[in-house]
Amino acid sequence: MISPDIHSQIAVAVALLRTGGTVAFPTETVYGLGADVSNSSAVQRIFDIKKRPATHPLIVHFADPSQLNHWAQEIPKQAWQLAERFWPGPLTLILPRRHHIPKIVTGGQDTVGLRVPDHPIALALLNALGHERALAAPSANQFGHVSPTTAAHVHEELGDAVDMILDGGACRVGLESTIVGFNDQTAIVLRPGGIPLDALVEVLHGHVVFPDRKDHVGRVSGSLASHYAPATPLELCSTEALWRRALELEAKGLRVVIMERSTQNRDRPENKNIVRFFMPREPDVYGSLLYATLRRFDQERFDCLLIEEPPDEPAWMAIADRLQRASCVPGCEIQTDDYDTALAARE
Ligand code: TXA
Ligand code: MG
């Protein structure tokens, strides 16, 4: 899986990072676009490359969970419990920052997002970078787009704007980390992600809140109502409504792709304007393939994508969250009456 010359590539990456460069690297969730946390102008380049508003904070990635209090202070007991159980892993903790972290990293906030990724290349890179160093790294995509889960996706998103891309193949989890913040002693899930929610509840003995995401719009970029969006207009449909909707859109002359999960509609025939694609029925596998699948449909330039709603179950929460946001691009809702406007909006 990991190419033999990766160690020499990591040495080059470290040299670039130490001199203010940017390096995209694989994690178990999605690819990150990294810069040395302590170098404000390198961090600024990340915002420029991604066209990300300066108020949207970056996650700080480091290698050794026991270094948590080098980056954060006033750490509640629950945060240590989560770090111990889930790091390295797809968990980001939002905690009061230590003042040596430049404010540009945290979007001006006094809290910082912290994560120890579970990927051999990410960990090797962070270890080689050195003790008490870390990488500020958002997902390696243009702001608002679908996160990249392969090195080729990173190249599609960022081209030559990034100094180097480390290739670790496809990301295992394929969805971003679970983000947990704290209000006094209460843990709050700000973004569902790669950690199974029942495992979080177990570690915290049930003391965890899943707020309505509308309450958090603004501060967490991943909680903007529209985010994680492919270029193809996308609509979520119930299992029952899925094919009726496809036929309706086809009748308007549109080329439709349907992403199905259940087999309830399996006897319906495909035709040249209605293409079906079966997704895996296990949430973990579905999650690992979701972004690559959305990208593929963008390339095939369908007019619209209909996605069968995921089950309303905890294991599907992160997937449901991303699909809702992706289907929520203003002007891109598939409305048969003014479809031309919707198509124009995606250009
Ligand atoms: O899995 C992941 O989390 C990936 C990999 C690369 O680690 N990273 C990622 O980064 O998804 P990004 O920047 O695309 O999303 C991070 C989210 C953003 O929505 C950001 O606003 C939020 O974390 N965040 C970071 N620091 C925060 C803070 N201090 N307070 C609130 N939200 C914060
Ligand atoms: Mg992102």
Query: In terms of DSSP H, where are the helices of the chain?
Result: 6-18, 40-50, 68-71, 77-86, 120-129, 151-158, 197-203, 242-251, 283-299, 317-326, 339-345
Closest ligand by atom to 30 CA: 1
Give residue 55's pLDDT: 96
Say what the pLDDT of residue 151 is. 98
How far apart CA 75 and CA 94 sit, in angstroms, is 10
18 exposure class (CB count in 10 Å sphere: 0-12, 13-18, 19+): middle
CA of 259 to the centre of ligand 2 (A): 23
Q: Residue 288: helix, strand or coil by DSSP?
A: helix
Amino acid (1-letter code) at residue 319: I
Please work out whether the CB of residue 57 comes within 6 Å of at least one atom of ligand 1: yes
Q: Is 206 exposed, middle or buried (0-12, 13-18, 19+ CB in 10 A)?
A: exposed
CATH of span 4-213: 3.90.870.10
Regarding the beta carbon of 220 and ligand 1, being less than 6 Å apart is answered yes
d(CA 129, CA 147): 25
Same fold, 4-213 and 234-346: no
Residues 177 and 89: their CA atoms lie apart, in Å, by 8
Give the orientation angle of helix 120-129 with respect to helix 6-18, to 10 degrees.
50
Tens of pLDDT along the chain (347 residues)?
567 799 999 999 999 999 999 999 999 999 999 999 999 999 999 999 999 999 999 999 999 999 999 999 999 999 999 999 999 999 999 999 999 999 999 999 999 999 999 999 999 999 999 999 999 999 999 999 999 999 999 999 999 999 999 999 999 999 999 999 999 889 999 999 999 999 999 999 988 998 764 443 333 434 454 567 788 999 999 999 999 999 999 999 999 999 999 888 888 888 889 999 999 999 999 999 999 999 999 999 899 999 999 999 999 999 999 999 888 644 444 444 444 444 455 44
Quickly name the fold that domain 234-346 has: Rossmann fold (3.40.50)
Q: Give the start-to-end residue ranges of the domains of the chain.
A: 4-213, 234-346
Among protein residues, the one with the nearest Cα to ligand 1's atom 10 is 138
- Count of Cβ atoms closer than 10 Å to residue 185 Cβ: 10
* Three-state secondary-structure class, residue 139: strand
Predicted confidence at residue 265, as pLDDT, reads: 82
In SS3 terms, 35-93 reads as EECCCHHHHHHHHHHHCCCCCCCCEEECCCHHHHHHHECCCCHHHHHHHHHHCCCCEEE
Q: Which atom of ligand 1 is nearest to the CA of 106?
A: 29
The preferred substitution site among 55, 98, 126, 221 for testing ligand 1, maximizing ligand atoms within 8 Å of CB, is 221
Q: Does residue 88 have a cis bond before it (omega within 30 degrees)?
A: yes
**Residue showing tokens 């203010």:** 20
Q: Is the CB of 150 under 6 A from ligand 1?
A: no
Q: Hey, what amino acid is at 147?
A: S
* Nearest-angstrom CA–CA distance, 269 and 278: 14
Supply the pLDDT for residue 3: 72
For residue 50, the cross-strand partners are none
Alpha carbon of 54 to ligand 2 centroid (Å): 14
